[in-house]
Structure 1
């Protein structure tokens, strides 16, 4: 059995309001006999509550070392970059001293490559570098990294991470292609985000207060970050178009928070929209209830090529819950929905097309039910956490 040291800045359990990939994977690896340590920081959607600058937790057999560096999607670019840099530099101590056989660095941010590379170079430890987002390409396309010199340095560091890794884990086919373009000789394994088939189910019990509040409505759920990469304002535009068409029985429910939330709420108020509710951040257990209540869900990103490679938690939660997905991205998500019949896609920033997709499903409950059944089946057959955690674990043995 291996001693696995992981650098990942967003660790969260189901009591929090963020993705639980590493909670779910690491507890399975620990149960299989591996000694697993995660070095992390404090994301504002996490449930970790530190008692000092460094707090050690023991969660389901996994050691969690949490540095009290606060990170939020609401923070500006410079503050986020400073937090990323602090985490990477302070993590070097653990990279050079903690007992381990394998090091995993999970990016973004790509700065987690610093402790990973040093453990690889100075201690000869195999490095598994995970790409959850294509950095720095995402930051460049979204205008967060504009300086030409900084871009060249970031791209050079990206190549360094890929070329010095035993394996690069990519979370989508598009990310895998992006890695191979940068480092053609890299060994790449595609292990996507996974579906929590136990927490997100079609038969989750819905609180009566939640059900009563939306009685008689077709509930369209968006559960995720309202940040720079997400096409958040598009939610208000869709609500506006639905109101214009007189679809008073359709309600958009927004569960989440982020940089753009305040502007969205202000715009909805200015337009007098009564068909969009902002619920805020909720723990994953309650998010599962909102999915059970919903009739269909939305998966939205801004129309940048790099975002078509994303592997968003909201997609896998919707599939596990057995809900049709209305998606605005190109790339692998559109291909998955087309192939599986688990949802519909339209072009980003086209509120009319989005409204038409929603209304088409409103008028056809049998089609909604069939799509929901197919969504659950594809979650079970392709994205079950037990199988994907086992695939990742195999990398410890090669």
Structure 2
């Protein structure tokens, strides 16, 4: 069997960032399934390489998290055109696996189905266009309706759908009927991330000695609502809590967040920008808690953020500022707490008990790791994913 994966934002462990598609591709290769990926790169030249048995085609298509709506749209449509042209030259493909976001990857899969009679499976990690519509990024009614029609057409054309959470599956079922939908959430790499004692060298380098460390590692976009993270740092300082905040990642809001922290003269927060996977591991190792933050927009509660699963694997107390399935899960398993998104003083109230009661903190951290191993371990989810193709 030969599988073609379309993913505009494919990342490798060396490059860092979200590497779900790498895990999925590797799970296929490890089971003897020939796997080809077409992705985009900021390099100026096309590149073809073999990555641990995965054939990776990188198309020169500029993209950055700081891009505005127009530049993002141009990049997305350029990927559609170029990926379809390239895919048409790849022989003997049995099935296409198209990974959103962006939604336009599904348009490429639709075109390949029409052009080559190639069946496709569509992965939905975020509900588009619901998210940009609810966030008021897409304001034009006619344009929004066009995107909704495209979404429905992509779902209807798919051989089956993979949803990254139960709420996403439910939302899709409300839009289309009689379509097989698998649920394969994001992956916890329990081999790479492990609960460890704090490294004193790392603590000295990052200035966190003797502190309760709360880290946020991930995208710094509008959807993440990280002004709240800054407000929590300010509230903690006012309450004289021995908490140090670490904010790592890249995105359109990076400079704004730096400015906000400087304006408030916060000395209890470190903003690092993008860090590679090894540095993520190091920051995790000195963190007591991991913050998963979203803007107060209902549709964002359906997502399946990578940072949540990395933090579970690392055995960290989980802190969220939104409702939905993750809030319900961390409360049920007692591995985390939710804080009021409107009142950063609630962060102080919820976190302070863990600072003073180390046994309570350790119990929640153990529960995080147990949840990662029992429900989200890479090996288990890799088997589930590969079986979608092996049982066709």
TM bracket, shorter-chain basis: over 0.9
Residue aligned with 1:38, SS: strand
Using the TM superposition, give the Cα deviation of residue 205 of structure 1 relative to its aligned residue in structure 2, in angstroms: 7.8
2:299 equivalent to 1:300: no
The answer to whether the Cα contact below 8 Å between 2:202 and 2:286 also exists between their aligned partners in 1 is: no
Q: Deviations over 1:216-245 (max 9, x none)?
A: 111111111110100111111001111111
Q: Which residue of 2 aligns with 1:29?
A: 28
Write the distance in 2 (CA, Å) between the matches of 1:86 and 1:389. Answer: 31
Write the distance in 2 (CA, Å) between the matches of 1:40 and 1:286. Answer: 25
Q: Which residue of 2 aligns with 1:46?
A: none
Using the TM superposition, give the Cα deviation of residue 187 of structure 1 relative to its aligned residue in structure 2, in angstroms: 1.3
The answer to whether the Cα contact below 8 Å between 1:17 and 1:281 also exists between their aligned partners in 2 is: no
C-alpha spacing 1:205/1:30, structure 2 compared with 1 (3 Å): farther
2:85 equivalent to 1:86: no
Residue aligned with 1:71, SS: coil
The answer to whether the Cα contact below 8 Å between 1:89 and 1:114 also exists between their aligned partners in 2 is: no
Q: Which deviates the most, 119-128 or 175-184? A: 119-128
C-alpha spacing 1:27/1:204, structure 2 compared with 1 (3 Å): farther
Equivalent residue in structure 1 for 2:214, among 193, 210, 220: 220
Q: Which residue of 2 aligns with 1:386?
A: 379
Where structure 1 has 5 or more consecutive residues not aligned to the other structure, the ranges are 44-49
Where structure 2 has 5 or more consecutive residues not aligned to the other structure, the ranges are none
Q: Which residue of 2 aligns with 1:275?
A: 268
C-alpha spacing 1:211/1:14, structure 2 compared with 1 (3 Å): farther
Residue aligned with 2:240, SS: coil
Residue aligned with 1:92, SS: helix
Q: Give the count of matched residue pairs.
A: 389
Q: Deviations over 1:192-224 (max 9, x none)?
A: 001011111112884714445211111111111
The answer to whether the Cα contact below 8 Å between 2:27 and 2:386 also exists between their aligned partners in 1 is: no
Write out aligned runs for 1:196-215 (5 A): 196-203=189-196, 206=199, 208-211=201-204, 213-215=207-209
The answer to whether the Cα contact below 8 Å between 2:200 and 2:209 also exists between their aligned partners in 1 is: no
Write the distance in 1 (CA, Å) between the matches of 2:347 and 2:252. Answer: 23
The answer to whether the Cα contact below 8 Å between 1:219 and 1:293 also exists between their aligned partners in 2 is: yes
Residue aligned with 2:3, SS: strand
Q: Which residue of 2 aligns with 1:377?
A: 370
